[in-house]
Amino acid sequence: MPSARRLDATDARILLALGRTPRATAVALAEELGLSRNTVQSRLARLEQGDVLRSPEHRIDPAALGYPLSAYVTVQVTQRMLDEVGRSLAAVPEVLQVHGLTGPQDLLVHVVATDAEDLYRIAGQMLEIPGVERTSNALVMREMVPYRLTPLLERATGD
């Protein structure tokens, strides 16, 4: 979902500093960046309101919650049922994220499971959703590049 306003170099500097020290106060960020506290506070407020700053859930490792197995499931959906299928998938606790795709598959679903048997149960649950025609699973063997935005933020600072 694109944000309404493009970030400028100051926003990027604030986000980089926040990435380095996620619990930093506005005062600490202002000192580190040589900005006024009011500037940092107003920009952080605008970033939060504009959905630029997402949920900190993204930082939690599902393995720490007992879900060490991660998989991506492609889902083919009966065309006019895409929204209903999306709502049904959102009701499955092990579904972390769902993306709509172009091409022969309609959805890419990131799921976690306790083990292979649990993944089999989750896949069956997904197949029972009205409108789901076919699924295909791909297990994550290891994470090669973790989710990151730092290189893009660094580029956006213009330094």
Structure tokens at 83: 């929204």
What pLDDT is stored for residue 56 in this prediction?
Answer: 79
Domain boundaries, position 91: 62-139
Q: Is residue 159 part of a domain?
A: no
CA 62 from centre of chain: 13
Residues 52 and 69 in one domain: no
What pLDDT is stored for residue 99 in this prediction?
Answer: 97
From CA 26, how far away is CA 41, in angstroms rounded?
Answer: 6
Residues 53 and 66 in one domain: no
Q: Is residue 105 part of a domain?
A: yes
What pLDDT is stored for residue 159 in this prediction?
Answer: 75
Q: How many CB atoms lie within 10 A of CB 42?
A: 12
What pLDDT is stored for residue 1 in this prediction?
Answer: 44
Residues 69 and 110 in one domain: yes
Residues 40 and 71 in one domain: no
What pLDDT is stored for residue 3 in this prediction?
Answer: 43
In one-letter notation, the amino acid at residue 137 is N
Q: What residues contact residue 140 under an 8 Å CB cut-off, 6+ apart?
A: 69, 70, 71, 72
What pLDDT is stored for residue 136 in this prediction?
Answer: 96
The β-bridge relationship of strands 132-139 and 95-100 is unpaired
The list of the chain residues with pLDDT below 50 reads 1-3
Number of domains in the chain: 2
Global pTM? Answer: 0.83
